[in-house]
Amino acid sequence: MPKGQFTAASVVALLFALGLQSAHAEDAGADKKQKSAKNVILFIGDGMGVSEVTSARYYEYGAAGRMNFDEFPYTGFQTTWSVKPGAGPRYEPDYAPDSASTATMWATGKKTIDERLSQGPSTAIEVPGKNYKTVLEIFQKKGKRVGNVSTAEITDATPASLNSHISLRGCQGPKNMTLCPSETKANGGLGSVAEQTVDHGVDLVLGGGRARFDETGGLIQGGDDNGKTVIQSAERQGYKVIGTASELEAVKNLKKPLLGLFNAGNMTTEWSGPQAVPGDGVASHKCLRNNRPANEPSLSAMTKKAIDLLDGKDGFFLQVEGASIDKQDHAANACGQIGETVALDKAIGVALEFQKKNPDTLIIVTADHSHTSLIVSEDSSGTGNPTGYSDNLITKDGQVLRITYGTAGGPGPSPVPPSQQHTGAVVPIWAKGPGASAILGTTDHTDLFSILQGK
């Protein structure tokens, strides 16, 4: 090493020699001492790649600001590639996956094709694969309470991966089973995602998607609840069904499993703002907050209530998804996207507060896949200007943050942005608590299945 130059490792070594250990170093020591986690909380920011996190940090807290993400002592990366249909046993890689195949990876520890949930690959998308056991099912068998929270329809791909097995993610409710005919209950299958969600006996389910469970979602065909709605099936199986923030606040225990459905579809975004437009983009502005109506609980409120209700002597497993980071990225809506990322970060703060009193809790934060948004220069001109859709936000620093979207549209962009595409870049992963160091380096989403179990 040349004189006067220091590597990051040498600086850390020097600090340790001087006894100047950081809080992160103390956390690392705690990780080594604690062998297994009693409680496991997994946060998923759907579509939350490095750029999405950075945009939220800069906008909300400024360039020098820090988020709850940044308190975690361990950070790594995960690859997210899925596989293409084929004859097997070897399947070709698909580098830019969807949320169903990626969620299946950490839910089961195995790769599958896009659109498929906790079920193996096969020769074609319309040919069901083999059902895989999920981490939620494993924790249930161990006697832990289990919970599933999302700001999307609770039957959407990410939450559905934990408690359903189906060949196509779109088969969410009884009336959506046209493309999954062999998997209906009438034909001896497990039924739609909504049906499987309540049949699984998940202790706590909170999110959107009520229309998949009530009469608008169709009636169950076959099985013990033939001719009933999924809500009626849930109630028969002992669930308490609620639909508002005040009803959620009033729940004090899990004497009955809880099904909270707070919107007919996806839950309303926390923030709002204009969609991006081509070229220089929308004139610089700030985002509008408080977009979610009072009858829909915040992600923080759902997370806190979930932890309070699930906490017990045998421990729990909880997955929490900030779903509309992805959905607003698709829509090229920077404010919607950033608001959902900030909301997820606040929910992570709730979990960190719980962990302070319960150090036997492992918290992991990651994304299912990367997405399209990029931070680009706002003072370029001519050929330096972005060719996609752009928005210009005024940050905490009072400066312009230009975010651009350019993965869909082709030549001759339309006034309304077409749905932007996922990207195949690795995603960040953060962890704190027993076994957290297992995420260091570059791992794969399938590795998360074992890491969650402390293996």
Residue 9 pLDDT: 42
Q: Does the residue 2 lie in any domain?
A: no
Which phi and psi angles does 445 have, rounded to 5°? Answer: -55, -35
Token representation of residue 139: 């924790």
Q: Is 437 a catalytic residue?
A: no
For residue 172, name the pLDDT band (cuts at 50, 70, 90).
very high
3-state secondary structure of 32: helix
Q: What percent of the chain has pLDDT over 70?
A: 92
Q: Does the residue 23 lie in any domain?
A: no
Q: How far apart are CA 81 and CA 100, in angstroms?
A: 12
Q: Distance between the two ends of the chain, CA-based, in angstroms?
A: 38
Cα atoms found within 13 Å of the Cα of residue 322, Cβ hemisphere only:
34
For residue 7, name the pLDDT band (cuts at 50, 70, 90).
very low
What tens digit of pLDDT does each residue of 52-92 get?
Answer: 999 999 999 999 999 999 999 999 999 999 999 999 999 99
Question: What number of helices (H) and strands (E) belong to the chain?
Answer: 13, 16
Q: What's the CATH code of the domain at 42?
A: 3.40.720.10
For residue 415, name the pLDDT band (cuts at 50, 70, 90).
confident
Other Cβ atoms within 10 Å of 221 Cβ, number? 18
What tens digit of pLDDT does each residue of 436-452 get?
Answer: 999 999 999 999 999 99
Residue 102 pLDDT: 98
Which of 14-18, 143-147, 196-200, 231-235 is least confident? 14-18
User: What is the rounded average pLDDT of the residues 371-387?
Assistant: 91
For residue 32, name the pLDDT band (cuts at 50, 70, 90).
low
Note whether 40 and 317 are within 8 A (CB): yes
Residue 35 pLDDT: 67
3-state secondary structure of 422: coil
Residue 33 pLDDT: 56
Which of 27-31, 38-42, 366-370 is least confident? 27-31
- The H or E element spanning position 389 is strand 389-394
Residue 55 pLDDT: 98
* More confident: 30 or 190: 190
Token representation of residue 141: 């068998």
Q: Does the residue 13 lie in any domain?
A: no
Peptide bond preceding 93 in cis form (omega within 30 of 0):
no
What tens digit of pLDDT does each residue of 106-116 get?
Answer: 999 999 999 99
CA distances from 273 to 91, 129, 288, 297, 450 (A): 42, 41, 6, 20, 40
In the sheet that 39-45 helps form, which strands lie side by side, from edge to edge? Answer: 240-242, 258-261, 204-208, 145-153, 316-322, 39-45, 361-367, 427-432, 74-79, 441-444
Active-site residue identified among 55, 82, 99, 300: 99
Torsion of CA 67, 71, 77, 81, to 10 degrees: -60
Residue 232 pLDDT: 98
Q: Does the residue 19 lie in any domain?
A: no
Q: Does the residue 33 lie in any domain?
A: no
Which of 12-16, 103-107, 125-129, 337-341 is least confident? 12-16
Is pTM, for the whole model, over 0.75? yes
What tens digit of pLDDT does each residue of 219-231 get?
Answer: 999 999 999 999 9
Question: How many domains does the structure of the chain reveal?
Answer: 1
SS3 string of 256-307? CCEEEECCCCCCCCCCECCCCEECCCCCCECCECCCCCCCCCCHHHHHHHHH
Q: Does the residue 17 lie in any domain?
A: no
Rg (CA), the chain: 22
What tens digit of pLDDT does each residue of 314-368 get?
Answer: 999 999 999 999 999 999 999 999 999 999 999 999 999 999 999 999 999 999 9
Residue 382 pLDDT: 83
DSSP alpha helix (H) spans, 8-109: 8-17, 23-33, 50-61, 99-108
Q: Does the residue 396 lie in any domain?
A: yes
CA distances from 167 to 128, 161, 266 (A): 5, 11, 22
In the sheet that 374-376 helps form, which strands lie side by side, from edge to edge? Answer: 277-278, 389-394, 400-405, 374-376
Question: Which residue segment(s) compose the domain that 82 sits in?
Answer: 38-452
Using alpha carbons, select from 187, 183, 178 the residue that is nearest to residue 222. 187
Q: Does the residue 159 lie in any domain?
A: yes
pLDDT beyond 70 at 4: no
